[in-house]
Chain A
Amino acid sequence: MYNPTVARLTYRGLLGRRRALILFVLPALLLVLSAAVRMLTGADDNTATSVLGGFALATMVPLIGVIAGTGAIGPEIDDGSVVYLLAKPVKRPTIILTKLVVAIGVTVAFSAVPTLIAGFLLNGNSQQIAVAYALAATVASVAYSAIFLLLGTVTRHAVVAGLVYALVWESLFGSLIPGARTLSVQQWSLALAEKTAGAGAVTADVSLPLGLTLLTAATVAATWFAARRLRALTLAGEE
């Protein structure tokens, strides 16, 4: 179910393109911000939750997820080079699962790990806040990768669609309309942070069992659909 060659092609394609720069810029921004906040205001749990919750989990994780998830397959389908993967006796679900693993790896490395470091910079993991948000970022990375990977197989405008989802739905609607939050990867993963952190430090809109169930369901469903899409991928001639 995992093909090392597909994995190698995928991560080299992900890190070799120009948009990979964003993968480095966003976490760097978070770390610089965290260090600056700590120096200016000192260690404070409330500040830590608002930086980690407001920037890291609400903005950075979905953005990195968009880059890694759509980037793991979208460009290949766009430019037609996916032919070289598909014209091989390799099962389609294997290709999708491998690309998913790579996308998750990249998203975790560039979002969950920096979140953990930022948490330690902000308040030295007081009330387990750093670990809580890092855990939330990790499970969110899995779901985002699967959703955006599917998006990459469905539309040529996957990056735009992904950005709209990540910024408009997750960040904007999530903070304005309470109902939208129940259907947001961010809130599902926050449920895990709420459980992990000290009492009252983090609040989530959904319960932990529901959050984890929805995370799992979204990941599995998106992956299944993506494999289906790839199996029936047609390449229209250029004529």
Chain B
Amino acid sequence: MSTICIDNVSRWFGNVVAVNDVSMTVGPGVTGLLGPNGAGKSTLINMMGGFLAPSAGTVTLDGQTIWRNEQIYRHIGIVPEREAMYDFLTGREFVRANAELHGLGDREAQRALATVEMEYAQDRRIDTYSKGMRQRVKMASALVHEPSVLLLDEPFNGMDPRQRMQLMDLLRAMGADGRTVLFSSHILEEVEQLAAHIEVVVAGRHAASGDFRKIRRLMTDRPHRYAVRSSDDRALAAALISDPSTSGIEVDVQEGVLRIQAVDFGRFTELLPRVARAHGIRLLTVSPSDESLESVFSYLVAA
């Protein structure tokens, strides 16, 4: 068993609170750490990886403190987000060096390179690698000692779809193996495809935790806002408000736009064109006004 326990953890940088009183437990299997950019995902991962001390609270792996405990790295593998990685070495030299620092040798390095399918380019210098190749060599360096915990910060950034699929398969296999795999992402679809368990952080707070279906439902069930321009705003407003899928409509005369709040997303998207046609109203523009990830997430915080 390898369980990371984050207990009432806060982290601030000067006056800025990056992580605010977060508690979560990350156990075996694949967990996705989801949140918009700047939500504190990297700060959390850095604390789990022992590269940042919590300002308050504790971060432990099976009861052992992670900060300032270099022996913990026998059990943890880290795939950082940053690109830099001794670019003057070849991929093989780099992974070999990582193996040696764990007291292992060429055999383990070769096995790790094979796992990420990088043997074909292992004798090229790292500065000639594409972003996806770098990512895979980083993976290999984190896997040399077969860690029971793997932490990945935005691992899919810059990968093409095929590389993404490969990495997902690899992480899935590791999770199925009983290892604790935690990766961060700001893209819901990525997390949904890979992680059975999701932790959501927004603005430094722990917003939601659990099964991805539950979180997906929370996200689609939230009230949606639309800005609509049509040939007859008032008539359209009158027709729409009678349906239970809408909860509020404002006729913004100055801007010449209807602001509609829909509570039943599926039903509303079907209703709008039907009502417009029935009343002979032309729809000029229909645009969701709060589809940004931030607003989706902030809804989750309130939920």
Contact = CB atoms under 8 A, between A and B. Distances in A.
Nearest to B101: A88
6 contacts: A83-B51, A83-B80, A84-B98, A88-B102, A233-B51, A234-B51
Contact of A3 (B37, B74, B101): B101
Contact of A87 (B49, B52, B103): B49
Interface in A181-239: 231-239
Given A85-B101, A87-B78, A232-B53, A12 B88 contact: yes
A8 to B, nearest CB: 7
B160 interface: no
Interface string B39-68: 111110110011111000000000000001
Given A87-B73, A237-B41, A238-B42, 16 more contacts: A4-B100, A9-B86, A9-B89, A13-B88, A80-B82, A87-B51, A88-B73, A88-B101, A89-B70, A89-B71, A92-B70, A232-B53, A233-B51, A235-B52, A237-B18, A237-B45
A5 B101 contact: yes
Interface of B: 13, 18, 37-43, 45-46, 49-53, 68, 70-71, 73-74, 76-78, 80-82, 84-86, 88-89, 97-98, 100-103, 141
A236 B42 CA distance: 8
Nearest to B50: A87
B49 A236 contact: no
Contacts of A80: 80, 82, 84
A90 B98 CA distance: 11
B78 A236 contact: no
A128 B18 CA distance: 62
B43 A237 contact: yes
B184 to A, nearest CB: 10
Interface in A3-59: 3-6, 8-9, 12-13, 16-17
A7 to B, nearest CB: 11
A234 B40 CA distance: 15
Contact of A84 (B41, B50, B53, B141): B141
A5 B100 contact: yes
Contacts of B101: 3, 5-6, 84-85, 88, 90
Contact of B102 (A17, A89, A92): A89
A239 B82 contact: no
Q: What 4 pairs between A and B have smallest CB-CB spacing? A: A237-B42, A79-B84, A80-B82, A88-B101
A91 interface: yes
A86 interface: yes
Contacts of A8: 97
Contacts of B100: 4-5
Contacts, number: 94
A81 B84 contact: yes
A81 B134 CA distance: 13
Nearest to A234: B52
A75 to B, nearest CB: 9
Contacts of B77: 87
Contact of B97 (A5, A87, A232): A5
A12 B101 CA distance: 16
A13 B89 CA distance: 9
A145 B269 CA distance: 69
Contacts of A81: 82, 84-86
B85 to A, nearest CB: 5
Contacts of B43: 236-237, 239
B73 A89 contact: yes
B79 to A, nearest CB: 10
Interface string A62-90: 00000000000000000111011111111
A9 B89 CA distance: 9
A236 B38 CA distance: 12
Contacts of B84: 79-81
B139 to A, nearest CB: 13
Given A91-B70, A235-B52, A239-B37, A84 B85 contact: yes
A185 B136 CA distance: 46
B249 to A, nearest CB: 38
B1 to A, nearest CB: 20
A88 B70 contact: yes
Interface in A92-131: 92
A88 B85 CA distance: 15
Contacts of A12: 86, 88-89
A80 B81 CA distance: 10
B67 to A, nearest CB: 9
Contact of A86 (B51, B82, B97): B51
